[in-house]
Amino acid sequence: MRLLTNTIVFIFLLMAACQTVPVTGRRQLSLIPQSELLAMSATQYSQFLQQNRLSTNAQATATVKRVGQRIKESVEKYMAEMNMSDRLNGFNWEFNLVESEQVNAWCMPGGKVVIYTGILPVCKDEDGLAVVMGHEIAHAIAGHGDERMSQSVLAMVGQVGLAVALSNKPRETQAAWMAAYGIGTQVGILLPFSRKQESEADEIGLMFSAYAGYDPREAPKFWERMAATNRNAPPEFLSTHPSSQTRINHLNSLIPKAMEFYNKSPYKGNAR
């Protein structure tokens, strides 16, 4: 009876810890207070900037900040229209271009964005850069960092529960089941969730960049160029990211919806 009561309470707490992802409407688990996430993000971002060299290319840096600012404004406008502005409480946006050959970019919770100079040739122009920034900012807006940490916490709780349930079994049996649980959690749960988040960030980011006046039809072209730089990718089911072709197909299917955002953009047709 006590176990049943505890289970009911646990399920109730999980339901209370769910929130809705903007644009897609997916329900997600959120166990980590946003104030803690933003504080950690600010500290780590500051440390990163101290340990890495900002680009001295004034033109490229200005482009990154301009594109970032436009997407930021489109995010804030959309969230206000959806009565979700409270999700941006505590955001202190920053956009920086860092000198590195890595073909990469990221955004921490709170709108802390870094673009590596190595990805600029793949971006080719502002539309391509907007695809990258929209995608990375979407991770922050969708709370994917919080969700991944929450999933990890839940996975650890499940593992502890399994250990208790198997406490009377032979040691070899316990070891075998715990190993299977670990593999099953990583490949069967965490990696697919990561791929889901990547696809979701593609969708949300495409809408935000389109709303900022950047042509969404350039997104599949950008990922085709990215695919050409990463021909040794692992099989999709063992990867945290969708395969390039899966991603390109998904983006192509989203173009009609993204064009609606693009056509409503106050930036559309503005000189850059």
Query: Is 99 considered catalytic here?
Result: no
Short-list 255, 253, 257, 231, CA closest to 243 = 231
Alpha-carbon gap, residue 222 to 105, rounded angstroms: 14
Q: Which residues contact 127 (CB under 8 A, 6 or more apart)?
A: 214, 215, 218, 222
Active-site option among 73, 76, 126, 136 = 136
Residues with catalytic roles: 136
